[in-house]
């Protein structure tokens, strides 16, 4: 099993970083020639380049309602950073499924197929009302299901016709060259039965939240079974905050200062690499790792943790 | 008074010459030895350059010669302007991205967030060409089953919500198509400039929405008297609502050192039009009023290019050479500048110009035609000073 690693670029994290308007002005003593156009987009590009330079396979951009929009950021950083896969997360409420699929073709064509799609969890009722998203709780899964059926349908088939409760297409489908590259790799999430059933039908990768190993193992077995029933294979991934240092003691000290994210694996480079390897043994092949400050921690993880992880999982493969 | 000049990014491939209809830039034709930017194949066998790299060349040429930016059109078989714009954000300096967009395709609150983010990514270089769709089978292809006038109603409500979200927190709206409770942009995004709206559409329903929402009312080139009437009508209607309507024209040019050379290129291009192309342009089903006005020219039935000369320097067969609107301007650099001056005198406040091939013609028109503007009407230049 090959391990894929993604670094998280969270547009809502570290909100004052690289945003001169939100920081105190530098003292007059310091000659400051920054222009108003310099803002966090420079930082996002730097994060993506850092991920590419330190050996990550991609970056993952969570959908944030109170910060920069993930697909805009994804396109900006994809052009700025070579090689890596860029996976923005967005909800099925963005609008037309045909339009979203068509945007994906330009992204794939322009980057040599380095685009992924992660569907964000549905928002609560109040948030949906604030977004003009008029849909009841009981129809949310059905809409995501239709959204994905239509998006993949227009990419893969012509003519494609579909009449659902949320989306309708007649004689649709993309012509060459729009669909010359494959549909983006699809990442879905969720821990409940409905989410797993949806993944069994549609996902290339199902992302779990950090959880105890026994719970993960059970969920993996369950989804594996559902996917097999649907005649498909789904890869398993994990969204996992980490806090790593040279020694476990240093990592613990840092965590005591409040630096570790919720559910973070805290430890030495070797220790956390061993933890992740045990998760890989359960069947996890895609790791979405995060830690702040994103740039410094990304370098640390890329430079010191990833080589150890690849070496350990590679050794397991050799034995197997 | 100064006039806005935009160029256009060809989002459906480009031709290396107006003489031939083959799309030999981009991957809309099969890869061949003369094809530029053939794209990435499934097996990565091509040269590693994608069509976006060619579009980057055109955008950079346009900003170098003084165009404000470019229209980025959107049709079923084009690349998408919402992706092209952020892809090119960091490698252009002043180029403004005019995104052609059917509002009904995106949730207005989400789109406001995406737009404000794009403003942040580009330093405020985003604007919209709001289109409402040609209708017919194409709308169902997009997954849109709304009828013509309903689509304009939806566009109008969409713009109400989009603007309302931008202007503050706690925006609520009760419309026929959109209901929003307590929407708003996060503080950092709200500081961004609201994008300028260029509005297309020739029907009564379109004109109504334009007079309420548009900064610029955008028309294809039509015979000058017809266009003058249209602009006067739009300006009058908006004035009655207490606003001021600017008008703009989208026009293709074949500009050459001499008029003779310009018509020679038109003649060669026209003689190379295939029956397949003519058939493609015949009988395209649409409920678009603008498309019908253009079709009244019937360029597909012409046998000689001269039959399509509708006025001095005005030729009605451009759609046969490169798709899109039929009417365009043909002439020497001076004549092209004079025709553009005339359009300004007839009420045009902005232009989207284009020529084929888009890269080389951006340089040519930027260097040879733009500098001549205003000479034919000293009153225009005086007003500009």
The region of weakest confidence among A5-14, B25-34, B238-247 is B25-34
How far, rounded to the nearest angstrom, does the alpha carbon of residue B202 sit from its chain's CA centroid?
15
CA distance B101 to chain A (A): 10
Answer yes or no: is B354 within a domain: yes
The residue ranking higher by pLDDT, B38 or B160, is: B160
Range name among A20-34, B208-222, B292-306 with the lowest pLDDT average = B292-306
Tokens 């084929």 belong to which residue? B356
Mean pLDDT score across all residues of chain A: 95
Confidence of residue B36 (pLDDT cuts 50, 70, 90): confident
| A206: closest CA of chain B, how far (Å) | 24
- How many structural domains compose chain B? 1
Say if residue A305 is exposed, middle or buried (CB neighbours under 10 Å; 0-12, 13-18, 19+). Answer: buried
Per the domain annotation, does B85 fall within a domain?
yes
Q: Which helix H or strand E contains B169, and what residues bound it?
A: none
Contact A60, A8 (CB under 8 A): yes
Structure tokens at B234: 């739009």
**Lowest-confidence range among A143-152, A247-256, B19-28, B328-337?**
B19-28
Using 50, 70 and 90 to split pLDDT, how confident is the model at B249?
A: very high
* A69 close contact with B: CB closer than 8 A: yes
The per-residue pLDDT for A23 is: 84
Nearest-Cα residue of chain B relative to residue A95 = B106
d(CA A50, CA B373): 48
* pLDDT of res. A5: 98
- The model's pLDDT over B281-302, given as tens digits with 9 standing for 90+, comes to 776 655 566 666 666 677 788 8
CA pair distance B247, A258, nearest whole angstrom: 57
Assess if residue B177 is contained within a domain: no
Residue with structure tokens 């860029």?
A86
How many Cβ atoms sit within 10 Å of the Cβ of residue B167? 12
Domain contains B22:
yes
**Could you give the CA distance from residue A207 to residue A220 in angstroms, rounded to a whole number?**
10
| Alpha carbon B314 to its chain's center | 19
* Gap from A180 CA to chain B (nearest CA, Å): 7
Is residue B159 domain-resident? no
**Residue B270 is inside which H or E element, if any?**
helix B259-271
pLDDT at B83: 98
Q: Which residue has 């790299």 as its token pair? A: B53
* Cβ <8 Å between A69 and B117: yes
CATH number at residue B45: 3.20.20.30
Q: Check CB contact under 8 Å for A170 and B27.
A: no
Structural domain including B285 reads 4-93+246-375
Q: Beta B96-101 vs B126-130: how paired, if at all?
A: parallel
pLDDT at B221 over 70: yes
Half-sphere exposure of B89 (CA within 13 A, CB side): 32
Q: Which residues pair with A168 in a beta bridge?
A: A163
B121 and A129 within 8 Å at the Cβ level: the answer is no
**Distance to chain B for A293, nearest Cα, Å:** 20
pLDDT given for residue A153 in this prediction: 98
Q: Using a CB–CB cutoff of 8 Å, tell me whether A133 touches chain B.
A: yes
Structure confidence by residue, pLDDT tens digits, B61-96: 999 999 999 999 999 999 999 999 999 999 999 999
The DSSP H or E segment spanning B328 is strand B328-332
Max mean pLDDT among A14-28, B150-164, B201-215 falls in B150-164
Inter-chain touch B142–A129, beta carbons under 8 Å: no
Question: Does the residue B385 lie in any domain?
Answer: no
Pairing of strands B314-315, B309-311: antiparallel
Nearest Cβ partner for B143 among A169, A178, A182: A169
Task: List the single residue in B40, B77, B110 with the smallest CB-CB distance to A112.
Answer: B40
Provide ipTM, 2 decimals: 0.96
Q: Quick one: which H or E segment has residue B220?
A: strand B216-220
Q: What's the rounded Cα separation, in Å, for the pair B369 and B257?
A: 10
Contact assessment for residue A131 and residue B183, using Cβ atoms and an 8 Å cutoff: yes
Consecutive H or E run containing B178: none
Mapping DSSP onto H, E and C, the string for chain A reads CCCEEEEECCCCCCCCCCCHHHCCCCCCCCCCCCCCCCCHHHHHHHHHHHHHHCCCCEEEECCCCCCCCHHHHHHHHHHHCCCCEEEEEECCCCECHHHHHHHHHHHHHHHCCCEEEEECCCCCHHHHHHCCCCCCHHHHHHHHHHHHHHHHHHHHCCCEEEECCCCEEEEECCCCCCCCCCCCEEEEECCCHHHHHHHHHHCCEEEEECCCHHHHHHHHHHHHHHHHHCCCCCEEEEEEEEEEECCHHHHHHHHHCCCCCCCCEEEEHHHHHHHHHHHHHHCEEEEEEECCCHHHHHHHHHHHHHHHHHHHHHHHHHHC
Question: Which domains does chain A possess?
Answer: 1-83+236-320 (3.20.20.30)
Any chain B CB within 8 A of the CB of A79?
yes
| A83–B contact, CB cutoff 8 A | no
Predicted TM-score (pTM) of the model is: 0.96
Q: Region A189-214: what's the mean pLDDT?
A: 96
Is residue B71 one of the residues assigned to a domain?
yes
Contacting residues of A for B116, CB less than 8 Å apart: 69
Distance CA(A287)–CA(A55), nearest Å, equals 13
Task: Give me the pLDDT at residue B61, please.
Answer: 98
pLDDT score of B336: 98
Given a cut of 80, whether residue B256 has pLDDT beyond it is yes
Q: What are phi and psi of B6, to 5 degrees?
A: -110, 155
Residue with tokens 């309420």, as numbered in its chain: B212
| Residue A98 Cα, gap to closest chain B Cα (Å) | 6
Nearest CA in chain A to B114: A69
What is the DSSP track for B342-377?
HHHHTT--EEEEE-SSHHHHHHHIIIIIGGGTTTT-
pLDDT in tens, B107-147: 999 999 999 999 999 999 999 999 987 667 788 899 888 77
SS3 state at B39: coil
Which residue in this structure is represented by tokens 């410094």? A296
């Amino acid at each position: 099993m090959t391990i894929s690693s993604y670094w998280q670029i969270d547009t809502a994290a570290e909100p004052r970083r690289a945003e001169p308007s939100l920081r105190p002005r530098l003292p007059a003593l310091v000659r400051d020639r920054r222009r108003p156009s310099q803002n966090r987009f420079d930082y996002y590009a730097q994060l993506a380049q850092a991920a590419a330079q330190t050996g990550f396979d991609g970056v993952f951009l969570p959908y944030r309602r109170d910060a920069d929009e993930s697909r805009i950021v994804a396109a900006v950083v994809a052009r700025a950073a070579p090689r890596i896969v860029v996976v923005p997360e967005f909800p099925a409420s963005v609008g037309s499924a045909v339009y979203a699929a068509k945007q994906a073709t330009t992204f794939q064509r322009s980057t040599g197929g380095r685009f992924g799609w992660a569907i964000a969890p549905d928002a609560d009722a109040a948030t949906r009302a604030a977004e003009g998203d008029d849909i009841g709780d009981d129809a949310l899964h059905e809409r995501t299901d239709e959204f994905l059926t239509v998006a993949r349908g227009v990419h893969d088939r012509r003519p494609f016709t579909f009449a659902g409760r949320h989306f309708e297409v007649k004689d649709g489908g993309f012509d060459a060259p729009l669909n010359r590259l494959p549909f983006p790799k699809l990442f879905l999430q969720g821990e409940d039965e409905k989410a797993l059933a949806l993944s069994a039908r549609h996902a290339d990768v199902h992302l779990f939240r950090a959880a105890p190993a026994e719970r993960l193992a059970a969920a993996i077995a369950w989804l594996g079974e559902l996917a097999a029933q649907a005649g498909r294979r789904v890869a398993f991934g994990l969204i996992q905050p980490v806090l790593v240092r040279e020694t476990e003691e240093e990592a613990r000290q840092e965590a005591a200062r409040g630096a570790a994210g919720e559910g973070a694996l805290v430890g030495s480079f070797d220790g956390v690499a061993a933890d992740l390897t045990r998760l890989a043994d359960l069947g996890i092949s895609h790791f979405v790792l995060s830690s702040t400050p994103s740039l410094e921690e990304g370098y640390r993880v890329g430079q010191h943790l990833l080589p150890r992880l690849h070496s350990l999982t590679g050794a397991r493969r050799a034995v197997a | 008074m100064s006039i806005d000049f935009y160029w256009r990014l060809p989002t459906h491939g480009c031709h290396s010459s107006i003489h031939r209809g083959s799309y030999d830039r981009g991957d809309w034709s099969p890869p061949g030895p003369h094809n530029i930017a053939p794209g990435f194949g499934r097996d990565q066998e091509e040269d590693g350059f994608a069509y976006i790299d060619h579009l980057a060349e055109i955008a950079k040429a346009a900003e170098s010669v003084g165009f404000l930016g470019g229209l980025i059109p959107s049709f079923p078989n084009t690349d998408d302007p919402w992706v092209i714009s952020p892809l090119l954000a960091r490698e252009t300096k002043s180029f403004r991205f005019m995104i052609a967009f059917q509002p009904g395709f995106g949730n207005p609150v989400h789109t406001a967030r995406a737009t404000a983010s794009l403003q942040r990514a580009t330093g405020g270089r985003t604007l919209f060409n709001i289109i409402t769709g040609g209708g017919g089978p194409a709308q169902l292809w997009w997954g849109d089953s709304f009828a013509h006038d309903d689509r304009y109603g939806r566009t109008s409500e969409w713009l109400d919500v989009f603007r309302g979200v931008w202007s503050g927190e706690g925006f609520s709206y009760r419309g026929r198509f959109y209901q929003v409770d307590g929407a708003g942009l996060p503080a950092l995004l709200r500081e961004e400039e609201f994008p300028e709206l260029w509005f297309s559409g020739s029907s009564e329903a379109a004109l109504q929405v334009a007079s309420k929402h548009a900064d610029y009312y955008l028309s294809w080139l039509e015979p000058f008297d017809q266009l003058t009437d249209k602009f006067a009508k739009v300006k009058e209607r908006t004035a009655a609502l207490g606003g001021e309507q600017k008008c703009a024209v989208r026009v293709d040019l074949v500009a050459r050192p001499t008029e003779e050379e310009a018509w020679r290129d038109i003649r060669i291009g026209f003689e190379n039009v295939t029956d397949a192309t003519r058939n493609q342009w015949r009988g395209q089903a649409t409920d678009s009023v603008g498309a019908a006005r253009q079709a009244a020219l019937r360029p597909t039935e012409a046998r000689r290019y001269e039959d399509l000369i509708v006025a001095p320097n005005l030729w009605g067969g451009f759609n046969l050479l490169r798709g899109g609107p039929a009417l365009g301007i043909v002439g020497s650099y001076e004549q092209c500048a004079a025709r553009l001056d005339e359009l300004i005198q007839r009420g045009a406040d902005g232009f989207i110009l284009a020529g084929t091939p888009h890269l080389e013609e951006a340089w040519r028109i930027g260097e040879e035609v733009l500098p001549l503007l205003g000479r034919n009407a000293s009153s225009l230049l005086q007003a500009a000073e």
